A and B are shown apart, each in its own frame.
Chain A
Amino acid sequence: MIQIRELRRKLGSKQVLDGVNLEIRQGETLLIMGRSGTGKSVLLKHIIGLMTPDSGSITVDGVDIVGMSEQELSAVRRRFGMLFQGAALFDSLTVGENIALPLREHSGLPEREIRKRVAERLEWVGLTGVENMKPASLSGGMKKRVGLARAIAMDPQFVLYDEPTTGLDPIMADVIDQLIRSLQQRMGVTSVVVTHDMQSAFKVADRMALLNDGRVVFLGTPDEVRATRDPLVRQFVEGTSEGPIRPV
């Protein structure tokens, strides 16, 4: 379980996170929605320790990761997998080498086992036989799926998804949504998905949180989101420019 308490972070003159409180339960898929620039990705990077908050705490299974040394954080990060917005595949490595990288660095598995694991993860994301391709020759959807295969290579306990369907066509977005669901069922992982794609949100979420002005202003199940009369949530879900959230 991940608990976030009174998390605050200022970037430049902007208070991006202004007292975020959130609890991510074991085995659930929690979806964080919000407008672009509201700090969703910043929150995700705090959860995995890539950014340090100005104040507040983040506990992973009861252990506070804020203020941990690099070595301690490294041990925590091995329990996480993260899919980045642009997949963040290493251009100089092949698809197979990208997925094998965390295994070669941390697992101590023999090379034969690593190759087997790479092929298996690629099969899970619906891409077989692409081990020797370079990321530059992949389509956007393929890159995301390879990024996902890399994120789950080490059998993580938690998977973080930063805008997994952004920039994809609706069919490929649905493929990614199904993968997120199937990986949760297959591996029993706890997932945190950051998105502003509402169609995708309802397909993958067990619970949904709305982040606005640096705070979580609504938290509920997809049914509660559909039923709520909260004007902020309604405006966001319906995607209208009229309402309490002012377009900037």
Chain B
Amino acid sequence: MQEDLALRGFRYVRRRALDWVAEVGRVTLLIGETARLTGPGLRSFRLVVQQMAAIGVNSLWLVVVVSIFTGAVAAVQAAYQFSSVVPLKYIGSVILRSVVIELGPVLTALVVGGRVGASIAAELGTMKVTEQIDALEAMAINPVRYLVVPRVVSAIVMLPVLTIFANAIAIFGGFVVSVTTVGVTAHVYITGLKDFFYFKDLFSGLLKAVFFGGIIGWMGCYHGFRTEGGAEGVGLATTRAVVSSCVLVLIIDYVLANVLFRFIFAQ
């Protein structure tokens, strides 16, 4: 009885492991196919611009709201943790570096991943179950070129742009809170920003955003293309796209942090 249970457990784990390997393989193939078709896909520049507006411009207000409060919270937290230990003149530099390196790119990726990843998966999933993707193929139009390339390219381009906005707005949010409630003067805050601004911090944050954009675009498209069934399938694909892009953003964030700050920018 116990042996039977152990065997069933082993089979279950083996099946799940094989499913996972197959999933990784399919995502890799989609990435390869997207790379192969990027040139031809960019010829439909109108589609790329449409997606840039949908992914970038339409996400801007969400990013503004999230960023301003991120900066504000960072200021409050920094002031609390500095108390009697670190002079408050460093508050600007701490907010700057934490926002530019980590909070800006990661929080932007998480909120955009929720909004855009879900929207891409739902749109492509609905197209899949209503045979619109079959219709594209029947018209000899490659769905990866027509649907995936514009979305992934736009996400890769727009995530760093949104991150730049997020960084600026979060630093401004931190400035407002520092000056109005923490008791730091504008001059001290701005001096802190200037003294501890390093280009490599900004570069590493934007490089992360490029990777995060790719993750959001590919996860949305992959799960949209894998949709089966009807409305339930579309809902499931949407959830999977958001969850997988958020988890991958955090994993890749850790990997990139290691590569960038332990090897490339290590002093």
Contact = CB atoms under 8 A, between A and B. Distances in A.
Interface of A: 45, 48, 50, 70, 73-75, 77-78, 80-82, 84-86, 88-92, 101-102, 105-106, 150, 154
Interface of B: 123, 126-127, 130-132, 134-135, 137-142
7 contacts: A48-B138, A77-B139, A78-B140, A91-B126, A92-B123, A101-B139, A102-B140
A77 B130 contact: no
Give the 9 A-B CB pairs with smallest separation, nearest first: A88-B135, A77-B140, A88-B131, A74-B140, A82-B138, A102-B139, A84-B131, A88-B132, A78-B140
Nearest to B132: A88
Nearest to B144: A70
B239 to A, nearest CB: 22
A86 B126 CA distance: 13
B142 A45 contact: no
Contacts of B137: 50, 77
Contact of B131 (A48, A74, A85, A101): A85
B139 A45 contact: no
Contacts, number: 50
Contacts of B134: 45, 50, 84, 88
Task: Name which of B131, B134, B135, B141 has the most chain A CB atoms within 10 A of its CB.
Answer: B135
A86 B131 contact: yes
A13 to B, nearest CB: 16
Contacts of B127: 90
A70 to B, nearest CB: 7
B140 A88 contact: no
A104 B126 CA distance: 24
Nearest to A80: B138
A66 B103 CA distance: 52
Contacts of B142: 70, 74
Contacts of A77: 137-140
Task: Name which of B126, B131, B137, B139 has the most chain A CB atoms within 10 A of its CB.
Answer: B139
B135 A82 contact: yes
A45 B139 CA distance: 13
B138 A50 contact: yes
A101 B135 CA distance: 11
Nearest to A147: B135
